[in-house]
């Protein structure tokens, strides 16, 4: 009973809150590191966002972003941080599914899995 009682909504939300905070800190750190490299290398170049060209293919997919990161390209590292940021709420939903399962709340496990599959569809495009 004590094990089940530990999984009440309030404690679950506290864990989720901390999960989100850690995710944001990690993402912001990676983005800042990439920003330093990018600004040192390209800081004095002219800027132009007037015309929309779309990002190069390597900055659109996880595999390309990781390749760019290992090449120590500033923009690739920033993009990796942004992917971390986007993944943070997804991790939050995944954890909520687990927590609802611990509470034996089948209805909410299903609701949470629906949300999770929409997120995965959006991220992976499968």
Partner 1 sequence: MNVLEFTLLAGCLSLIAGFLGALTGLGGGVVLVPLLTVLFKVDIRYAIGASLVSVIATSSGAAAAYVKEGFSNIRVGMFLEIATTFGALAGAFLATKTPTAALAIVFGLVLLYSAFLSARPRPLPPANEQPDPLATRLKLNGSFPGDNGIRHYFVRRVPAGFSLMFGAGALSGLLGIGSGAVKVLAMDQAMRIPFKVSTTTSNFMIGVTAAASAGVYLRRGYIDPALAMPVMLGVLAGSLVGSRVLVRAHTRWLRLVFSGVIVVLGIEMIYKGVTGTI
108 vs 123: CA distance, rounded Å? 22
| CB-based contact 92:19 (threshold 8 Å) | yes
- Restricting to residues 11-40, name those near partner 1 by CB under 8 A: 12-14, 16-18, 20-21, 23-24, 27-28, 31-32, 34-35, 38-39
CA dihedral 13, 17, 18, 20 (to 10 degrees): 130
CB of 4 to partner 1, least distance (A): 16
| Stretch 58-97: interaction string toward partner 1, x if CB under 8 A | -xxx------------xxx-xx--xx-xxxxxx-xx--x-
Q: Is 107 in the site for partner 1 (CB under 8 A)?
A: yes
């Amino acid at each position: 009973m004590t094990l089940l009682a530990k999984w009440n909504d309030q404690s679950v939300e506290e864990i989720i809150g901390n999960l989100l905070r850690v995710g944001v800190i990690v993402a912001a750190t990676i983005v800042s590191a990439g920003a330093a490299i990018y600004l040192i290398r390209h800081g004095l170049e002219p800027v132009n966002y007037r015309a929309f060209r779309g990002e190069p293919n390597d900055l659109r997919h996880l595999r390309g972003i990781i390749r760019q990161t290992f090449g120590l390209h500033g923009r690739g590292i920033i993009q990796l941080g942004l992917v971390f940021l986007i993944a943070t709420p997804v991790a939050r939903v995944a954890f909520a599914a687990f927590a609802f399962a611990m509470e034996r709340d089948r209805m909410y496990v299903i609701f949470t899995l629906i949300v999770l599959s929409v997120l995965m569809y959006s991220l992976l495009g499968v």
